[in-house]
Structure 1
Amino acid sequence: MESVSAVIHAVLAEPSKIIWNSIRTTIKNFRNRESNFKDLEGETNILIQLKDRVLRKLGVQEQTERDRLQHEVDIWVGKVNELEEQVNKMKSSVRSSGGDVAEYDLRCSCCVLPKLCRLSNQLVKMMERVKHLKEAGESYAGQMSLPEQLIPVEHVPGAPITGQKTASINLTKVLDKLKDDKVRAIGVYGMGGVGKTTLVSNLNNKLKQEPSANSFSIVIWVTVSKDTNNRKIQTRIFERLKLEVRNEESDETVTSRLHERLTNEESFLLILDDVWADIDLQKLGIPEDCPRSKIIITSRSAEVCRQMTTEDAMLMVGTLDDEEAWELFQKHSGEVAMREDIRAVARDVAKECAGLPLALVTVGASMKGMSDVRLWENARTTLRMSAPDIISIEEKVFKPLKWSYDSLPDEITRSCFLFCCLYPEDFEICVEELVRYWCCEGLFHERLNYKEIENRGIAIIRCLTDCCLLEKVDESYRKIKVHDVVRDVGIWIANSNGSQCRSVVRSGIQLTRITNEEFSHSFHA
């Protein structure tokens, strides 16, 4: 009998234990239903925030990585949304019953206990679902790397316009247009060297220095130049966004990637500097449905700005009046221009620059420190006599700049300057490499050793930068560049040597040979 009892006890012990544990768990859940409900609300909110974080990270992933995870993430997001909907329904029912979870969905006293038990168990199961969904979400988030933190605005080198009345007024006008919700694209146009790039670089740097004035999550600066294409512009934008453009990608793929990435940006300002022809922004991949984002275009052509913006969103940058021109010229020529015996001639020299800021800066710097009035008189005469055989606008630009070239100390320096003009527009020239090229081309006539060649090259570069015919990219003089208008003047000079050899310049297009037509045209031009 005892053995039978032992067998019965052994048979019933385990089920009894299971039943008791279940009852005890149910009682525990019943007692903790209010705290469990609050925990469920809190954990669900955390899960929703995790969902948003996963989707944001997925949106900035490279295409291949996004394609790999998209399907799984979509399924996970669907489950999170379903759970969120169930929790919201439960919260709504609780609020309709007076806000007490103890009275949740109760209609009659005879079924109070079963309903509360079901609620208690449901809360626990939903908490388990939240836990599993959070683990899955953290796993997805962990598989996706965040892009490198982007600086909202990068500094762009440019001369400050502090104290310049006209430039400051133009800057205010552009800032006002940026705040206008009706304006999407702003066109800034004017002749070469008039100060368009200087104006917009000051705007860019103002947004950097005064974050309160910047409503954009990122400002992207792209120098377009004459010899360019959509792929080059897209590559520069991708570089700013710390992304890569792969050579094997089609134009359509790159455009789609750029469009998607900029769409995910809260708001952006795209500055396209020195645009020579109409750019189809849609083909470039610039989204149109971003109301808070803006585009600024600078160009020598009003027609280009007209095609890419609207008439009321255009700003013409004109030349300076005589007084502002004189102030800018005097700033760069120094105190010598104010000497009593030189002032009148210096004013005449400044007038020959026709209010063009680039010419005023270049010629003014060339005259700095010249205390002999005869040098100023010679400058005035030379400027008045120089008459390039080109269209009127270029004539106003080339005439003063050519004098700066003529005033260089020797033929070697002039040849070295013309060599720099062979590089493509806005190309950042490595100084060390440039000096080696000069040497290999035989521009240095003296027999010099390597160190002497390096020193001579640096001296020439400093001379050319001091005359504002070259611009230094960095303070250490490791790289220099030629302003595009100055480069145009250099090419024109190279093609205007009379009986001397003419030059054919076609940079940036991987030219391997010169056609007979090109050669004949350059010879008879």
Structure 2
Amino acid sequence: MVVLGSSSTSLSNIQCQIADQLGLKLEGETLIERAACLCQRLANAKRILLALDEVSEELDLEAIGIYIRAENRGCKVVLTSEKDVICSQMGAQKKIQVKPLTKEEAWHLFKEMAGDSVDAPDIRSIAEQVVTECLGLPLALRAIGRVLKNKSNFVWTEVLKRLRVYNRKLEFSGRAEMFADQETWKKERAGPHLRLSYDSLEDEETKSLFLLCCLYPACRDIHIEELVRCGMGLRIFKDINGLEEARNRVQLLVDQLKSYCL
């Protein structure tokens, strides 16, 4: 099971995420009571692999209900973090540094996202340069590949120019240490790729829905009905007649976001 462990996620929320995937109803109202309930369920499992994703600060696993002890061999924990020190603080037994994709891996992923158009005579050279500017980052390759799928030579050229300008800006500004903190660096690095995804959206309604979804915490499920109510309250939708039409409009917009964005 995969659980989000970012700084915006509380220990109680992590407990709920784990319990939901186990089909477990947590008993008790306090963190300690719920941890005991969760611990008992994990201890009785024969084999569970728990992945804590995007861990940005040290987590107290026992406070959550995760006990990594010799007698609890059935539960294994994998965590991902941008900070090596967090892995050390949480007692990671083995560390694996995830490096950028190789040139061949990057091209394969990008082509999977952008489609066979990358092999067109007037596109191939530009596509190879775009892949180079993505710096082997899967997030960038996926996002920009989707944006450029079936686009014209002009669009490919403009995207390449924007990537080059932004990468030169990062080089000039310096490495992560030059920014105020790691979160700022992460946002700066992801900025152009997210912006290109946003700019590729076809109309203002879809862009407004994209921004509305960005207001939700990363660990929060967003339901269609909730987006309908918020969208109508914020007057995102134009020329609609009734709730059912708004619901259909939101579903179409969500499908578009899935196609174009991350």
Which TM class, normalised by the smaller chain length?
Answer: 0.7 to 0.9
By how many angstroms is 1:357 displaced? 0.8
2:118 corresponding residue in structure 1: 337
In the alignment, does 2:96 pair up with 1:303? no
Amino acid at match of 2:119: M
1:447 corresponding residue in structure 2: 239
- For structure 1, the residue ranges without an aligned partner over 5 or more in a row are 1-219, 470-525
Residue correspondence of structure 1 range 263-412 to structure 2 within 5 A: 263-287=43-67, 288-290=69-71, 292-293=73-74, 294-310=76-92, 313-370=94-151, 372-386=152-166, 391-412=184-205
Instruction: Say if 1:255 and 1:283, in contact at 8 Å, map to a contact too.
Output: yes
By how many angstroms is 1:368 displaced? 0.9
Distance in 2 (alpha carbons) for counterparts of 1:432 and 1:252 = 34
C-alpha RMSD over aligned residues: 2.5
Instruction: Say if 2:127 and 2:156, in contact at 8 Å, map to a contact too.
Output: yes
Scaled by the length of structure 2, the TM-score of the pair is 0.82
Per-residue Cα deviation, 1:279-315 (whole angstroms, up to 9, x for no partner): 12222332323263321112222221121134x6011
Instruction: Say if 1:269 and 1:295, in contact at 8 Å, map to a contact too.
Output: yes
In the alignment, does 2:227 pair up with 1:434? yes
In the alignment, does 2:214 pair up with 1:418? no
| Secondary structure at 2:135 match in 1 | coil
| Secondary structure at 1:442 match in 2 | coil
Distance in 1 (alpha carbons) for counterparts of 2:78 and 2:145 = 31
1:123 corresponding residue in structure 2: none
Could you say if the C-alpha distance between residues 428 and 392 of structure 1 is closer, same or farther in structure 2, counting changes exceeding 3 Å? closer
Residue correspondence of structure 1 range 94-113 to structure 2 within 5 A: none
By how many angstroms is 1:267 displaced? 4.4
Distance in 2 (alpha carbons) for counterparts of 1:259 and 1:453 = 44
Residue correspondence of structure 1 range 117-516 to structure 2 within 5 A: 220-248=1-29, 250-287=30-67, 288-290=69-71, 292-293=73-74, 294-310=76-92, 313-370=94-151, 372-386=152-166, 391-444=184-237, 446-450=238-242, 451-469=244-262
Could you say if the C-alpha distance between residues 235 and 415 of structure 1 is closer, same or farther in structure 2, counting changes exceeding 3 Å? closer
Per-residue Cα deviation, 1:395-445 (whole angstroms, up to 9, x for no partner): 33222221221222233322221111001113221123313321220122x
Distance in 1 (alpha carbons) for counterparts of 2:254 and 2:35 = 40
Instruction: Say if 2:133 and 2:163, in contact at 8 Å, map to a contact too.
Output: yes
| Secondary structure at 2:80 match in 1 | strand
Could you say if the C-alpha distance between residues 308 and 406 of structure 1 is closer, same or farther in structure 2, counting changes exceeding 3 Å? same
Q: Relative contact order, CA 8 A, sep 6+: which one is greater?
A: 2
Query: How many percent of aligned residue pairs carry the same amino acid?
Result: 36
Distance in 2 (alpha carbons) for counterparts of 1:272 and 1:365 = 27
Instruction: Say if 1:353 and 1:396, in contact at 8 Å, map to a contact too.
Output: no
User: Which has the higher Rg, Structure 1 or Structure 2?
Assistant: 1
Could you say if the C-alpha distance between residues 453 and 263 of structure 1 is closer, same or farther in structure 2, counting changes exceeding 3 Å? closer
By how many angstroms is 1:344 displaced? 0.7
Could you say if the C-alpha distance between residues 362 and 277 of structure 1 is closer, same or farther in structure 2, counting changes exceeding 3 Å? same
Distance in 2 (alpha carbons) for counterparts of 1:321 and 1:313 = 23
Amino acid at match of 1:315: I
Instruction: Say if 2:15 and 2:64, in contact at 8 Å, map to a contact too.
Output: yes
| Secondary structure at 1:270 match in 2 | strand
Instruction: Say if 1:352 and 1:383, in contact at 8 Å, map to a contact too.
Output: yes
Amino acid at match of 1:243: L
Instruction: Say if 1:226 and 1:425, in contact at 8 Å, map to a contact too.
Output: no
Could you say if the C-alpha distance between residues 238 and 436 of structure 1 is closer, same or farther in structure 2, counting changes exceeding 3 Å? closer
- For structure 2, the residue ranges without an aligned partner over 5 or more in a row are 174-178
Could you say if the C-alpha distance between residues 401 and 261 of structure 1 is closer, same or farther in structure 2, counting changes exceeding 3 Å? closer
Of 446-455 and 415-424, the range deviating more from structure 2: 446-455
Instruction: Say if 1:258 and 1:286, in contact at 8 Å, map to a contact too.
Output: yes
Distance in 2 (alpha carbons) for counterparts of 1:291 and 1:243 = 19
Scaled by the length of structure 1, the TM-score of the pair is 0.43
Could you say if the C-alpha distance between residues 286 and 458 of structure 1 is closer, same or farther in structure 2, counting changes exceeding 3 Å? closer
Could you say if the C-alpha distance between residues 256 and 432 of structure 1 is closer, same or farther in structure 2, counting changes exceeding 3 Å? closer
